[in-house]
Amino acid sequence: MTDKDVTNILVVGIGGQGVMTAAEILAQTAIVQGFDVKKTEVAGMAQRGGVVSSHVRFGPKVLSPKIVTGTADILVGFEAAEAMRWSDHLRPEGVAMVNTLRLEPPVVSLGLYDYPEDPIGAMREAGVNVYAFDAGAIALELGDLRLVNTVMLGAIADHLPFPAEVLEEQIVARFRARKPKLVTANEQAFARGRAAARAAGRAEAATA
């Protein structure tokens, strides 16, 4: 067994966007698929709009929960500048799935840092394989901004080492028992995210 047998997914964003929930669902899905799973997260000031990150690793055997620089297979960016900030963690063939939403964290509001002018453009200039789309707009079309979480999970569904339907079932199962009215909305959000990522991938290939 080598590190190539381990899938590394880095989920980043701003507190309140569902970053940690997305990571938890990914980890749970990997467990259901029989993988060894390790997960860690940093959520300082998460309840006040601070930055949040979670590392999810799974494979036959995982020794450490931390994804080191240059080894992530997938970067899930719930916010554009946060995706850019973590993009050095992607391996050269990795994929950055990025919500185009721009949210200023407290460090920007306090004047400690400047928000980058074009974070997605900067990632592309650096050679990052970026799939970018407006997940917030999709969620709002479906009636609830909180669906961004499921939209982003749907977006990475075609890049995982297990069927997309397994991940979708884990998401839906969370609502089926406690909030059955939200099952259909989450199914739609998952499908819309998956379709948006495919469209973004085609657009990226056309301009390469």
Q: Can you give the three-state secondary structure of 32-67, one letter per residue?
A: HCCCEEEEEEECCCHHHCCEEEEEEEEECCCCCCCC
Higher-pLDDT residue of 105 and 52 is: 52
How confident is the model over 2-10, as a mean pLDDT?
Answer: 84
Whole-structure pTM value: 0.92
CB-based burial, 52-66: b 16+ in 10 Å, e otherwise: bbbbbbbbeebeeee
**Residue 106: its pLDDT value, please?**
72
Asked whether residue 51 carries a pLDDT value surpassing 90, the answer given is no
Q: Tell me the per-residue pLDDT of 104-121, one tens digit each, with 9 for 90 and over.
A: 777 777 788 788 999 999
**Residue 46: its pLDDT value, please?**
53
Tokens of 93: 């063939």
**Domain 7-207 part of CATH 3.50.50.60:** no
**Residue 1: its pLDDT value, please?**
45
How confident is the model over 45-65, as a mean pLDDT?
Answer: 85
Q: Among 49-53, 92-96, 185-189, which stretch is predicted with the lowest mean pLDDT?
A: 49-53
Tokens of 82: 């946060």
Asked whether residue 136 carries a pLDDT value surpassing 60, the answer given is yes
Asked whether residue 7 carries a pLDDT value surpassing 90, the answer given is yes
Angle between helix axes 164-176 and 183-207 (nearest 10 degrees) is 150
In whole angstroms, what is the distance from residue 175 CA to residue 186 CA? 9
How confident is the model over 64-92, as a mean pLDDT?
Answer: 95
Percent of residues, the chain, with pLDDT higher than 70 = 95
pLDDT averaged over every residue in the chain: 91
Tokens of 205: 């290939």
How confident is the model over 118-130, as a mean pLDDT?
Answer: 95
Percent of residues, the chain, with pLDDT higher than 90 = 74
**Domain locations along the chain:** 7-207
Q: Tell me the per-residue pLDDT of 156-193, one tens digit each, with 9 for 90 and over.
A: 999 999 999 999 999 999 888 788 889 999 999 999 99
**Residue 192: its pLDDT value, please?**
98
In whole angstroms, what is the distance from residue 172 CA to residue 166 CA? 10
Number of Cβ within 10 Å of residue 33's Cβ equals 16
**Residue 49: its pLDDT value, please?**
67
Q: Tell me the per-residue pLDDT of 140-157, one tens digit each, with 9 for 90 and over.
A: 999 999 999 999 999 999
In whole angstroms, what is the distance from residue 119 CA to residue 128 CA? 11
